[in-house]
Structure 1
Amino acid sequence: MNGVEIHDHARKLYSAQGAKALAEAAQMVRRYEKTGDERAAEDWRRIELALRQMQGPRVS
């Protein structure tokens, strides 16, 4: 996936899942790592990163 597709997918996932989107992305990374599909796992890592960037910095 290219960068635009990654961010589009992240926005759609966040819209559908809300706060659960990040956990869903992490689960997908693990799923594809287990099956050996490194390309899909890398796409999901990038989606996970995009979701983290969308959330912004954490305030303590």
Structure 2
Amino acid sequence: MDHKDLVQYARSLYDAHGDKAEAEAARKAAASRDAGDAQDAEKWDKIRRHISELRGPRAT
């Protein structure tokens, strides 16, 4: 998956799940790691980072 696809997927996931999208991507990354699929886990980590950027700074 190239950078453009990752960003587009992150946007779609964020649009569908809102503030829960980042946690969903983190869960998928963890599940991939548990299954021994480091490449898929890395993809989900990148998607999670893009979602974090979409959300912007968090209010404290």
TM-score (norm: length of structure 2): 0.93
Q: Which residue of 1 aligns with 2:34?
A: 34
How many residue pairs were aligned?
A: 60
Distance 2:24 2:46 in 1: 13
TM-score (norm: length of structure 1): 0.93
For structure 2, list consecutive stretches of 5 or more residues without a partner in the other structure: none
Segments of 4+ moved more than 3 angstroms? none
Q: Which amino acid aligns with 1:39?
A: Q
Distance 1:42 1:15 in 2: 21
- What is the CA RMSD across the aligned residues, in angstroms? 0.8
Q: Secondary structure at the match of 1:44?
A: helix
Deviation at 1:9, TM superposition (A): 0.4
Are residues 1:45 and 2:45 paired? yes
For structure 1, list consecutive stretches of 5 or more residues without a partner in the other structure: none
Identity %: 37
